Amino acid sequence: MRTHRIQWMGRSASGRVPVWFMKIVALTITVLYSSGVFAWVEQPSVQAAQDIHISALIGFNGFYSSNQWVPVRVQVQNGGPARQVQLAIPLSDSLGNGRRVDGTLLWSVRLPAHGQTTTVLAVPGRLMDGNTSVECLYQGVIVTSLRLSGTALGKVALVAVLSHQAQAGQFLTGSTDGPGGNPVLPVSLIPGEMPASANLLTALTAIAATPDVLNELSHPQQQALINWVNLGGLLIVTGAQSGNSVWSNCFPLLSGPQSFITGQSLASFVSDSATPLGKITAAARGVDSAGVLWAGTAQHPLLAALMCGRGMVVQTAFSPVQSPLLTWSSNAALWTSVLQRGDAGGQSAFPATFSTGQALSLASASDSLSPLRLPSLRFWASVFLLYLLLIGPGLFFWLRRRHTEATAWIWLPVISLATTGGIYWFGISERPSGMLTEAVGVLDLVGNGTAESYGIRGFTSPKVSSAAVRAGQPAMLTVPLAESVPNLGTAQVTMDPTGTAYFYHLGRWAVRYVFTVGAVSGQGQLDAELWATLSGLHGYVRNDTPYPLQGLAVGWNKKLYLLGDLAPGQTASILPLTTLTTTSGDYLGAYGSYNHDITRGVGRTLGNYAAQQGLLQLSQQANTAILMATTDSVTPALGPVITRQKLSVDDTRVLVRQFASVALYPNVQGMFSP
């Protein structure tokens, strides 16, 4: 009787738990877990979803260019404890050339407890036209997301005015980027919201700001703005106040006492038929020795310009929002003339990245990747025809003449095995033992160590592989690409502090790409001392870059002066006998016949891109020459592939370009034929 009572209470006399009781307990735990009672493991991400909220500002007050990188200012509010999260932007878009943007961009963000933080993301402009979203991940789980949308620029010139005043850009109303050009769309931008990357400013035709606002910018913002000007941007400084040490060599006007002077010289600068302008308030005492006076006098300058690398700084001695100027009927024509004369034109170093046929077309260089150096189909057709003849009529005729037809049962397998073994041996001998990679790009030197570096690296492997490609310098922008065929594997790009693309579990022979672009420093220059006489161009060029250069040439007045290969630190003199003459609109044809690096193999794509973008066009000015060369060295945009596999093929080709000043002797201007 006692034993039965113990069993009824759930335990036998021997002390063991019955099986039916354990099943009931397991079923109860399962039900409770599925209902959320024991779902405490998921609580951190669930709580984070309640605490974290994001908002975003696209481009410049909502405006962006589809052909360029777009700055996206994301604000993340955190209502809980401090957290480490990731902001992710999935990429998927066809490029229309058999390739597509494919992967995920990632930014790590530290959220303060019960606070907020702001991060500027870089998003390919062409993806903003679709359903691109920014996702916030906590512990690998998406806790919130936001769809990105803005207004793509049409045929307008976007000018950013850095100011705390919303109406600071009103002086640009009605102007265009040149006579008959695109209308100007001025947008007021709070100084602290200006992106700290030169390549996130490429959608802007110009940037306007007072010296005080420029001094207010953070050091990364100031450096980004200087790089943007050096690479072809136009900075309009409104006012002649003194700048800090960063801007000491960038302002063409010298600060002076305020005075009330006539503005008629501004009317003359616009045109002879411009409406007369009365007196305006100005403050400048002269023009810097490197500056060029556009309007005013040497003692009372009103408008001056200073070349800064490929770009220009235009400075006014007056505030453009004062009443006499805003009510002047030729005010719009004034700023139209400023924007026209300040345009860098073909000397801009910034590529149009995401439009059809632009920088991403460099990915076609991977077409020259030869996984197997196989003979032609005609060769294989001949081999199989010979094989059929040997094992058919040929073998039968030979055995019949020897009266050994019965041995055909031996010869047929032997020939088949030998043929099969030969084919396999050929395949094994020609099959690469590791990864194949090729890279093409452009290094556009300014001449002061700054350069715009961009290019594409493609790679593939006969094995399932994982790899990484890291940009050569911080703050470069990277996007992963793939072929438009089903591909195994994933790609992720961490954008901080140095853009690194990670590729995981890629399928055999799957071709992946990494496009990288950015303003870089420490690239040196081609130190050129050039002068022109009636007999032609003279001087020397010294290779002060860290790269060995192949096929260096100088183009001036439709002639190409050939200087050969130059190692770092080496100097070459210009000899009139070593010239090629071009009759086309650029130097590409003549240069390609001299330097085959851009006409053969992987360099053929580079030559096609240079032709499409006019990188080697004839100069329109007699005092400017173009220097061109190639290098097979790795530049910052073409980081090496990091993988555990052996690199069977690693080929790199980079086009190097720089403009140089030419001193003109008397009467030379008349012989120049642009």
Q: For 521-552, how does the pLDDT look when each residue is reduced to its tens digit (9 = 90+)?
A: 999 999 999 998 888 889 999 999 999 999 99
What per-residue confidence (pLDDT) applies to 368? Answer: 58
Contact 550, 563 (CB under 8 A): no
Mean pLDDT of 403-413: 76
- Of 177-181, 425-429, 508-512, least confident by mean pLDDT is 425-429
Cα–Cα–Cα angle for 562, 568, 570, nearest 5°?
55
User: Would strands 141-147 and 279-287 be described as parallel, antiparallel, or unpaired?
Assistant: unpaired
What per-residue confidence (pLDDT) applies to 360? Answer: 77
Q: For 272-328, how does the pLDDT look when each residue is reduced to its tens digit (9 = 90+)?
A: 777 888 899 999 999 999 999 999 999 999 999 999 999 999 999 999 999 999 999
Contact 430, 372 (CB under 8 A): yes
| Cα distances (angstroms) measured from residue 155 to each of 101, 129, 177, 185 | 26, 17, 11, 10
Residue whose token pair is 């190639």: 630
Residue (of 380, 663, 674, 357) closest to 530 by Cα position: 663
Mean pLDDT of 27-45: 54
C-alpha span between 498 and 518 (Å, rounded)? 11
Higher pLDDT, 405 or 302: 302
For the chain, the structural domain boundaries read: 2-37, 47-152, 157-347, 377-430, 526-671
Long-range contacts of 172-178 (CB under 8 A, 24+ apart): 172/208, 172/335, 173/332, 174/331, 174/332, 175/332, 175/333, 175/334, 175/335, 175/336, 175/339, 176/332, 176/336, 176/339, 177/205, 177/336, 177/339, 177/340, 177/343, 178/336, 178/339, 178/340, 178/343
- Of 33-47, 175-189, 355-369, 656-670, least confident by mean pLDDT is 33-47
What per-residue confidence (pLDDT) applies to 12? Answer: 44
Helix, strand and coil in the chain, % to nearest 5 = 25, 40, 35
Is the pLDDT at 473 greater than 60? The verdict is: yes
What per-residue confidence (pLDDT) applies to 3? Answer: 44
Mean pLDDT of 608-632: 90
Mean pLDDT of 388-393: 70
Beta partners for residue 250, in sequence order: none
What per-residue confidence (pLDDT) applies to 367? Answer: 63
Mean pLDDT of 207-223: 95
Residue (of 241, 198, 248, 189) closest to 223 by Cα position: 198
Higher pLDDT, 618 or 199: 199
Confidence band for 624, pLDDT divided at 50, 70 and 90: very high
CATH of domain 157-347: 3.40.50.880
Confidence band for 498, pLDDT divided at 50, 70 and 90: confident
Contact 65, 152 (CB under 8 A): yes
What per-residue confidence (pLDDT) applies to 382? Answer: 77
What per-residue confidence (pLDDT) applies to 10? Answer: 43
Mean pLDDT of 120-138: 88
Give the three-class secondary structure for 68.
Answer: coil
Contact 101, 93 (CB under 8 A): yes
Give the three-class secondary structure for 406.
Answer: helix
Is the pLDDT at 39 greater than 80? The verdict is: no
CATH of domain 47-152: 2.60.40.10
Is the pLDDT at 37 greater than 60? The verdict is: no
What's the chain's average pLDDT?
A: 85
Is the pLDDT at 9 greater than 50? The verdict is: no
For the chain, helix (H) and strand (E) counts, in that order, are 13, 34
Q: For 243-263, how does the pLDDT look when each residue is reduced to its tens digit (9 = 90+)?
A: 777 887 889 999 989 999 888
Confidence band for 136, pLDDT divided at 50, 70 and 90: very high
Confidence band for 658, pLDDT divided at 50, 70 and 90: very high
Tell me, yes or no, if the two domains 47-152 and 157-347 fold the same way: no
Is the pLDDT at 661 greater than 50? The verdict is: yes
Q: For 336-378, how does the pLDDT look when each residue is reduced to its tens digit (9 = 90+)?
A: 999 999 987 778 999 888 776 667 777 776 665 555 455 556 7
| The length of the chain, given as a count of residues | 674
Residue (of 462, 456, 436) closest to 501 by Cα position: 456
Contact 352, 358 (CB under 8 A): yes
Mean pLDDT of 483-511: 82
Residue 204: both structure tokens together: 């802007």
Query: What's the pTM?
Result: 0.85
Contact 366, 200 (CB under 8 A): no
